[in-house]
Chains A and B, each alone.
Chain A
């Protein structure tokens, strides 16, 4: 074996070198004092903690170098606790290092493997006990037991069924209907094309029907971004062009990658960027993905105006908004 090539012999543990405090009573005394000072310091830390808790106002701010404007109450509590804990910690370690014995001790290890005799005994015992229970013979009992235990295991799984409803068509539907007004978020005011200047961006939601309340689940699917460009800046096919109104184009704000809000609009480049994973969409080309991990453009909402000049949806979204899922068809 290669390990027999170890060339040199083990010289054994090096000779123990005594510390100063082992032989010099003055050094020993000094070390003792140092430990005591550290423990006493810890006590002072606790006093600072108590003082800060009771007497420093919670809204008192002080200016400190490096930290800047700092809440004095929070800082007093924190530093008090720090000193209290570090005092004990450093004291104990210093005590161990200077005053407790630093002679290394050798303990023997033993192999974990049981002796052959014990192993044989073990196997015999298991066989004997198993035979006593008739495990080898009573296969009918074994099989029915396995079956019933397996079935019992299903019960907790079944109980989890009511954790939530089935998705049904929830992931493919939003609140947008033909003729739904676009309203500002926040504010819930209907908007006219003239409210948006060229270059402007606005977040809109579908107008609530009477008695309807808006939930976060709704916002998670309905949020739409309006962007107004000059009409000639678009490079859209005829259908998509007809979904815009006077240069105003509407996209789902929920990223087609992982559902974050696509909230960063670069006015110069006319790119929409998702801050989560930096998928970048080109507004002029129907939110085509030009960079990043998203695989699909943001769904475009067809808009127009109603008789009063307010922006409305021409039709619901023609595809699911948000991240992909197994049942999504395109």
Chain B
């Protein structure tokens, strides 16, 4: 036994005698993780969160979350002797007078953008591959929760510096609170400690931003990961992969090295962006005052769709019985986002109701094999993108020499017309791809080699697929639609008549597929060839 082994042994013995960890560790160090690039998207979100904690902690050492008036006296000349809040002044101090402060601020902001982007792309991966199906519905809900909190956390974060741009963002948030029927003005006065902007808001959102929400994040992320660990990761279909197994690399050493290395790569890329790509240059905006604004005011991208919806809202307000209801704020700011996020959260349960499928699933779907779900995803994404485009309508207008009016009217109509169009087109594409798969399995790959037969006919040589490839293209199930039972065996009308009809309707639409080749068809063709 070498000296090093002796030391390691002593430490391990010490720990194990007190925790019994050896058994657990032995089992989990060989835990298998499937390998696929799309499984790294959630990892990016996790690592950006760690980067956010690290860089954010650094920023708190200098940031002064106070709206007390101070006179700036730092090294940024253009704002010298300007009156501003202590929050804004300390952000300038971090940017110009703390070495590495600007880098950390930019890393923090970039990491936040990457965090949100990774969550969204991870969510799309999970959605399009059906990874949310039983038994992973809890994790889907946790994910929706994390996404929602992420939007709020990001917004609060970029509001903290109290510059002209972020103050404008808070003003809009305040207007949304104030627009709530009955309780709006009260909630606003409680949140802001009086009239807008007051002096209470920055210290309050600071506590929420650095303590409350990060704590909730940590808890939710922990449960999210524990469930991934306990339920074992899903895997893409392929030869040797079944619902009953998981194929991949063991935690130690391969997955540890890859995941650990990937953390450093994500951090490195974030640091690179922080080093070369200026983000949120608050010193250019100046301190916040409600009487001023800068042109081209834009929220961060994950709020952009919301702002886009607000911008395109029709000018509707109801004045009745001495009260006002601002539909132009409530519909785009609360009602539509509420419907979208509720629908998203409920989707796993809706789909399982439509398909009647209550089994566990660990093999992922290829999106083309579930045309309706894929089309629904494309539809929702189109809705978001149209809204996002309108969120940047002023920037787009100046860059592409368009008028705001053109973009606004395009997106107002586009928001209604384009999503259903995306649904139909995506569904058709999925079915075409299914047909292509079927052709591939039955007739093989087109090689591009032309052969002249003895009687002068030209044919293209088709190369049969490997058994592995054929399996990958045909392993999926094609569930039949749920049959509608309007009456039971004794002729009693189904008491769930309407729901059953609805379910059958959806189920039939959902079951629309191109039949995959059967074993007989494949055999038939093989015998024809030989």
Contacts and interface: CB of A to CB of B under 8 A. Distances in A.
Given A7-B474, A86-B268, A260-B293, A326 B324 contact: yes
A253 to B, nearest CB: 6
A85 B394 contact: no
Contacts, number: 335
A93 B195 contact: no
A328 B102 contact: no
Interface in B316-373: 316-317, 319, 322-326, 328-329, 332, 360, 362
A118 interface: no
Contacts of B171: 220, 258-260
Contacts of B519: 7-8
B290 A109 contact: no
A86 B516 CA distance: 46
B23 to A, nearest CB: 17
A167 B289 contact: no
Contact of B174 (A166, A259, A289): A259
A232 interface: no
Given A93-B261, A107-B232, A75 B185 contact: no
Interface string B235-278: 00001101111111110011001101111111111011011100
Interface string A88-108: 111111011100111011111
B189 interface: yes
Contact of B275 (A5, A82, A221, A278): A82
Interface string B66-93: 0000000001000000000000000000
Interface in A73-89: 73-75, 77-79, 81-86, 88-89
Interface string A263-279: 11000000000011111
B315 to A, nearest CB: 4
Interface stretch (B196-204, B215-223, B380-388): B196-204
Given A109-B362, A289-B315, A164 B193 contact: yes
B175 A82 contact: no
A171 B185 contact: yes
B187 to A, nearest CB: 9
B360 A295 contact: no
Interface stretch (B306-314, B419-427, B492-500): B306-314
Contacts of B521: 7
B267 A89 contact: yes
A89 B291 contact: no
A292 to B, nearest CB: 7
Contact of B198 (A74, A83, A160, A217): A217
B319 A220 contact: no
Given A58-B99, A81-B103, A258-B172, A10 B475 contact: yes
Interface stretch (A11-19, A25-33, A147-155, A309-317): A11-19
Interface string A183-210: 0010000000000000000010100000
Given A77-B100, A325-B179, A109 B275 contact: no
Nearest to A263: B293
Contacts of A112: 135, 231, 360
Contacts of A324: 178-179, 317, 324-326, 329
A235 to B, nearest CB: 20
B163 to A, nearest CB: 14
A85 B181 contact: no
Given A10-B471, A104-B247, A275-B295, A88 B261 contact: yes
Contacts of A73: 99
Contacts of B239: 10-14
Nearest to B520: A7
Contact of B254 (A3, A88, A101, A164): A101
B432 interface: no
B438 to A, nearest CB: 11
B31 interface: yes
B297 A276 contact: yes
B254 A96 contact: yes
A109 B271 contact: no
A205 B289 CA distance: 13
B42 interface: no
B168 A13 contact: no
Contacts of B186: 166-167
B276 A78 contact: yes
A101 B267 CA distance: 26
A59 B519 CA distance: 73
Given A82-B275, A217-B194, A292-B311, A100 B257 contact: yes
Nearest to B255: A96
Given A75-B275, A85-B268, A258-B172, A326 B181 contact: yes
B179 A82 contact: no
Interface stretch (B9-17, B147-155, B447-455, B476-484): B476-484
Contacts of A93: 257-258, 261-262, 265
Contact of A278 (B103, B197, B408): B408
Given A111-B360, A166-B189, 7 more contacts: A86-B268, A88-B261, A163-B190, A164-B189, A275-B293, A278-B408, A322-B175
Interface of A: 1-3, 5-14, 53, 58-59, 67, 70-71, 73-75, 77-79, 81-86, 88-93, 95-97, 100-102, 104-109, 111-112, 160-161, 163-167, 170-171, 185, 203, 205, 216-217, 219-221, 223, 253-254, 257-261, 263-264, 275-279, 289, 291-296, 322-330
Interface of B: 30-32, 75, 96-97, 99-100, 102-103, 106, 135, 168, 171-172, 174-176, 178-186, 188-198, 200, 231-232, 239-240, 242-250, 253-254, 257-258, 260-269, 271-272, 274-276, 288-297, 307, 310-317, 319, 322-326, 328-329, 332, 360, 362, 393-394, 404-405, 408, 467-468, 470-471, 474-475, 477-480, 516-522
Q: Which 3 A-B pairs have the closest CB atoms?
A: A78-B275, A92-B261, A89-B264
25 contacts: A78-B275, A84-B268, A85-B264, A85-B271, A88-B264, A89-B267, A92-B261, A96-B254, A96-B261, A104-B247, A109-B244, A167-B186, A216-B289, A217-B198, A260-B293, A263-B292, A292-B311, A293-B313, A294-B315, A295-B315, A295-B316, A324-B329, A325-B188, A326-B323, A329-B324
